[in-house]
Amino acid sequence: MDASRENLNVLAADVVARVNARGATEADVLVAEGDSVAVQVRLSAVDRLSKAREKRLGLRVFFGKRSASASTSDFSNASLERLVDDTCAFAKEVAEDETSGLPGEAAMVTDVPDLDLYDPTTPTVEEEIEWAQRAERAAMGVDPRMTNSEGAECASSRGTVVLANTHGFVGAYRSSRFSLVVTPVAEDTNGQGMQQDSWYTVSRKWHTLETPEAVGTRAAERALRRLGARKVETQRVPVVFDPHIAESLLGHLSSAVSGYALYKGASFLQGCLGRSIAPAHVNIEDNGRMPGGLGSRPFDGEGVPTRKTMIVERGVLSSYLLDTYSGKKLGMASTGNASRSLGDNPSVSPTNLFLHPGGVSSEDVIRSVKQGLYVTELIGFGVNMVTGDYSRGASGFWIHDGELAYPVQEITIAGNLKQMFQDMELIGNDLEFRGSLASPTVKIREMMVGGR
């Protein structure tokens, strides 16, 4: 174990001991330390540069069924003493909550596997500037119609997380993240229209990022294909979500199966556990143990081991996503999905959430549509998580006789999420992880497309 992580382990255990000395019945301490660099260029000039090194400690204290949380970035002895004193005092004054408390000692992770989350590579600021400039330059060089840029950004971060509690548990892991994104602007030759789009690459490992030239070229191609966009007539047609947009459907699903939404009665999937919510070819998995995954971690924000959870299996809603608190509210065990911000109580979030790929290519999914919409961008937040009602602005391409015929914009798509999951008619085989949510191409049997 490196010296920095050992020091954080000792620090976390020391704060737990201080809380114990004040008579707390339970407590946990979360410590995070890391550094980050981000550079943004626009038209080759450096537009913004930020470099930060941060460390914070979050404390949660229980006196029976009363609890309080607080955090600090000052690790001096005097500051930690104040933090412990104040948090203990606050905890004694709040109302009791019979559901509160740490996970049981038996629920703590006993092994902390190496999930290949950390890359010690430290690109210099000059290297990050060069990568951003190369990506933007590649985008601008694709076609004379590439006339402007919203910029390119290259970023890197790495850090250590340590969690300790009054069960005697101390766990730690390191992680890193690298990314590159560029957003170029294309203009019609007649000067009548402009369109922008972007592309990005992100990874735990610096050496596995796509090249700046590949990122820039893809971004330019995406912007160019949107030129000449038009509206369409209002109609009910099949709608195909490209992979990046289909990810948003998984985001809505994760919110709907969160224990907090469910025990509050604020989910359109209320009472659906064990029932069919999608066709039998739909399988949706949350897996916090994927090596190198952008959502992977060996344990959650409470020290419970992460795991593979089938949320939807052969179309049936098979599991919720739970932390200890929401699990107790529903009479269930945690699924290892506690998410934690320093100084806050845990909540629920997915780890690596993805829709299993189907058996057809994305081209075949599009070819299955006589007349319909291929969505590449969504705008606005018109989603009611209680009812499932769904209405969002969109742009993309009109499908005619199984081909992408022309770009469209200034339209809306509307439906209901419960019906949309039931209507997942085809799933592509083009699953690619570009974040903690991932989906292949998805065809919805029918939605309302609002246009002229």
Say if residue 372's pLDDT is above 70: yes
**Residue 25 burial (CB count, 10 A):** 17
Rounded to whole angstroms, the Cα distance separating 425 from 87 reads 53
Q: Determine the distance from the C-alpha atom of residue 315 to the mean position of all C-alpha atoms in its chain, rounded to a whole number.
A: 23
pLDDT in tens, 185-204: 999 877 668 999 999 999 99
| pLDDT one-digit tens code per residue, 291-319 | 999 999 999 999 999 999 999 999 999 99
d(CA 20, CA 27) in angstroms, rounded, equals 8
Query: Beta strand pairing status for 338-339 and 170-187?
Result: unpaired
- Is pLDDT at 1 greater than 60 in this prediction? no
What is the rounded CA–CA span in Å between residue 251 and residue 249?
5
Residue 256 · residue 272 · CB < 8 Å: no
- Taken in order 74, 77, 80, 81, the sign of the CA dihedral is negative
Reported residue count of the chain is: 452
pLDDT tens-digit profile of 158-173?
999 999 999 999 999 9
Query: Where does the pLDDT of residue 176 fall: very low under 50, low under 70, confident under 90, or very high at 90 and above?
Result: very high
As given in the structure block, the two tokens for residue 411 are 């339209």
Which tens digit of pLDDT belongs to each residue from 225-272? 999 999 999 999 999 999 999 999 999 999 999 999 999 999 999 999
**DSSP state at residue 12:** H
Q: How far apart are CA 253 and CA 424, in angstroms?
A: 14
Q: Give the residue from 335, 304, 309, 330 showing the smallest Cα distance to 163.
A: 304
Convert 51-61 to b/e letters by CB count within 10 Å (16 or more is b).
eeeebbbbbbb
Amino acid at 358: G
For the record, the structure tokens of 348 come out as: 């629920």
Kindly tell me the burial class for residue 90, based on how many C-beta atoms sit within 10 Å of its own C-beta (0-12, 13-18, 19 or more): middle
Q: Distance between CA 39 and CA 132 in Å, rounded? A: 8
Helix (H, G, I), strand (E, B) or coil at 264: coil
pLDDT of residue 191: 66
Distance CA 96, CA 141 (A): 63
| Separation between Cα atoms, residue 142 and residue 279, nearest integer Å | 42
Question: Could you count the other beta carbons within 10 Å of the beta carbon of residue 126?
Answer: 9
Catalogue all structural domains in the chain, each as residue range(s) with its CATH number: 3-223 (3.30.2290.10), 229-452 (no CATH)
Task: Report pLDDT for 342.
Answer: 87
pLDDT of residue 386: 97
Tens-place pLDDT, residues 108-143: 999 889 999 999 999 999 999 999 999 999 999 999
- 8 A C-beta contact, residue 427 and residue 440: yes
Of 303, 142, 327, 112, residue with least CA distance to 216: 142
CA–CA distance, 22 with 7 (Å, rounded to integer): 23
Query: E strands of 273-370, at which residues?
Result: 284-287, 308-313, 316-317, 338-339, 347-348, 353-355
- In whole angstroms, give the CA distance from residue 37 to residue 94: 40
pLDDT, tens digit (0-9, with 9 covering 90-100), for 91-104: 999 999 999 999 99
For residues 161 and 183, the answer to whether their CB atoms sit within 8 Å is no
Nearest to 218 by CA among 178, 179, 184, 177: 184
Pairing of strands 316-317, 338-339: unpaired
Compute the average pLDDT of residues 201-217. 97
Average pLDDT taken over every residue of the chain: 96
What is the C-alpha radius of gyration for the chain, rounded to an integer number of angstroms? 24
Asked if 117 and 204 touch (Cβ cutoff 8 Å), the reply is yes
Q: Give tens-digit pLDDT for 40-85.
A: 999 999 999 999 999 999 999 999 999 999 999 999 999 999 999 9
User: What is the Cα–Cα distance from 105 to 339, expressed in whole angstroms?
Assistant: 19
Nearest to 414 by CA among 391, 442, 380, 382: 391
Q: What are φ and ψ of residue 93, in 5° steps?
A: -100, -20
* CA 395 to chain CA centroid, nearest Å: 23
pLDDT score, position 2: 60
Residue 407's nearest CA partner among 449, 431, 373 is: 373
